[in-house]
Amino acid sequence: MFTGLSVFPLTPFDDSGIDEKRFTHLVSRVAEAGVDLIGALGSTGNYAYLTREHRGLVARLAVETAGDVPVMIGIGALTTGEVLALAEDAQNAGASAVLLSPVSYQTLTDEEVFGLYEDVTKELSVPLCVYENPRTTQFTFSDELHGRVAALPNVGAVKTPGAPLDQAPARIAALRNTLPADVAVGFSLDEFGAGGLGAGADVWFSVIGGLLPAECLAITRAVAQGDVPQALALSERMAPFWDLFRRYGSMRVITAAAAHLGLVVPPNLPRPLREIPPAARQEVAAALDALDVRA
């Protein structure tokens, strides 16, 4: 499950809440493309902004629609009590794994983060992926803390931002040195995905793969066939996206791309979040055209 390409579809909204038809369409697209794992309710799926009721609905729809492809559900929330409730909902929906970031308002200490994972993992019957996202959670894991958390029961993978090509081998070696051998390592910043897999990461946790699964599977397959230069060349073709992600955040950019392809109705962002500016939307359209992507 924690291998190859793991993708994070958007959550389409409509006036009544979740746009079920468009969400299941996004899930079907990536399942049919043959991704290894579908991550519903990741940051890209706007989990943090949704009610428990809507998150339960999305989890059920994702599992129903994904067929044989395993589904991982994001269960992050500000309080441990909410996280435990969401973990139960995800497992009841049939999730194969859960994804947990240390969401914060007050900046968390290492002991608080460890305690969160300790409290949650002991209640799980499916594997948990530790989700490190310093930008949204204000928390950076030390390698030592990664090791302590990953040694807890039911931890299956670590999703970490990753590192540029020249630093990826050392980053992965440092993690392998601290993590139990059966815990998978994956990079999550898309621009580092191909290089991370090439340097030996188990999985690429991909935002863009939720929208462009074929293009991303071509990268994972090139790595699997030992052709890392080809994987890097395919990744380089998406460089306009990496630049847009740095400037506007990957979620906002992928939302604009999905809107351009007619897969979500813009703005598809919970206020106060807003669409990227018109000029940036034109860049997104040009980047899709250059890849010859169609919905």
**Given the rule CB under 8 A, which residues bind a second copy?**
43, 48-49, 78-81, 102-103, 105-109, 111-113, 115-116, 119, 135-136, 138, 249, 251-252, 270-274
Between residues 191 and 202, which has the closer beta carbon with respect to a second copy?
Answer: 191
Closest CA to 217 of 197, 200, 201, 240: 197
Between residues 118 and 143, which has the closer beta carbon with respect to a second copy?
Answer: 118
Between residues 159 and 252, which has the closer beta carbon with respect to a second copy?
Answer: 252
Q: How far is CA 86 from CA 83, 120, 138, in A?
A: 5, 10, 22
Give the shortest CB-250-to-a second copy separation in angstroms.
10
Between residues 136 and 154, which has the closer beta carbon with respect to a second copy?
Answer: 136
* Non-local CB neighbours of 234 within 8 Å, separated by 6+ positions: 194, 215, 218, 219, 222
Give the shortest CB-51-to-a second copy separation in angstroms.
10
The pairs formed by 241-247 with CB atoms below 8 angstroms and a separation of 24 or more are 241/190, 241/208, 241/287, 242/190, 242/191, 244/276, 244/280, 244/283, 244/284, 244/287, 245/189, 245/190, 245/191, 245/207, 247/280
Backbone angles phi, psi at 282, to 5 degrees: -65, -35
Give the shortest CB-82-to-a second copy separation in angstroms.
9
Between residues 171 and 252, which has the closer beta carbon with respect to a second copy?
Answer: 252
Give the shortest CB-130-to-a second copy separation in angstroms.
14
Give the shortest CB-181-to-a second copy separation in angstroms.
28
Give the shortest CB-142-to-a second copy separation in angstroms.
17
Between residues 105 and 177, which has the closer beta carbon with respect to a second copy?
Answer: 105
